[in-house]
Amino acid sequence: MINSITDTITLNDGTAFPRFGLGTYKMDDGRTVEDASRWALEYGYRHIDTASFYGNEAGVGQALRDCGIQRNQMFITTKVWNADHGFDSTLRACEASLRALGLDYIDMYLMHWPGQNVDNRRRTWDAMQQLQHQQKVRAIGVSNFTPEHLNDLISATGTAPSVNQVELHPLFPQKQLRQYAADHGIAITAWGPLLHGHLAQVPEAAAIGEAYGKTAAQVILRWHLQNGICIIPKSSRQHRIRENASIFDFELSDAHMAAINALEDGTHYGADPDTMTYGFTS
């Protein structure tokens, strides 16, 4: 049984990583992301996920300063954007994120996308390792990496990322990637865990929820956790933020887990990491 919203897993570098957090993609900077982050922290969230590309790091940082929670009790993830791949540019990008967030260090720094330039990808990772050595970031990982991208990075650098944040949900459970990650000690975090806003495509979740007095969203989030997947559901609505956090008082049966597992059909909503080129410079 997963007992608490503050439960963590231990990453391959020893960092305690929250299994549950708030995603902030497409939240406007200022009041919108500040309120969402503040509500999340009030409801027990301790992990906030942002990115330089989101343009809302400053608002997240303001919420952190206003919340009254000790810094070492919070976990902040941000990401280096595609246009900043490369050694020196990654170092500069991290400094910019630290300034925007108003923090002395970042808990998790992710490479947002792998890109097509393998050399730049490796130089970006080298810079991230230096940032970790300098204690400007506590842990480093990647986002939207396939097994092939991971294998190249590990083979070239001898270091496995601590986390891979990817699109993952019942229709697109990424079984091969999850197995690769498990074999290499890489934690998986799901972005878009609620089917990126397409929850209505799985009416089975609502039917299952009736057995527990839970919503379809709560059922799907619980499915993730029971599969060992960390999650960062995004919402800027107060009642949704509270609802998403209310998944630690029930456990899906084996039969219901199997029913959700059977929904897999390959549907995904994000870009293909093998072809995604947006934001990259030549």
Would you state the pLDDT for residue 96?
98
Would you state the pLDDT for residue 282?
64
Would the CA dihedral through 17, 21, 26, 28 be positive or negative? negative
Active site residue 54: yes
Would you state the pLDDT for residue 221?
98
Q: pTM for the full model?
A: 0.97
Would you state the pLDDT for residue 1?
65
Q: Which residues contact 52 (CB under 8 A, 6 or more apart)?
A: 78, 79, 80, 81, 84, 93, 96, 97, 100
The CATH class given to the 8-261 domain equals alpha beta
Would you state the pLDDT for residue 167?
98
Catalytic residue among 45, 54, 109, 180: 54
Residue 80 β-bridge partners: 111
Residues of the chain whose pLDDT is less than 50? none
**Residue type for position 100:** A
Would you state the pLDDT for residue 89?
98
Domains of the chain: which residue ranges? 8-261
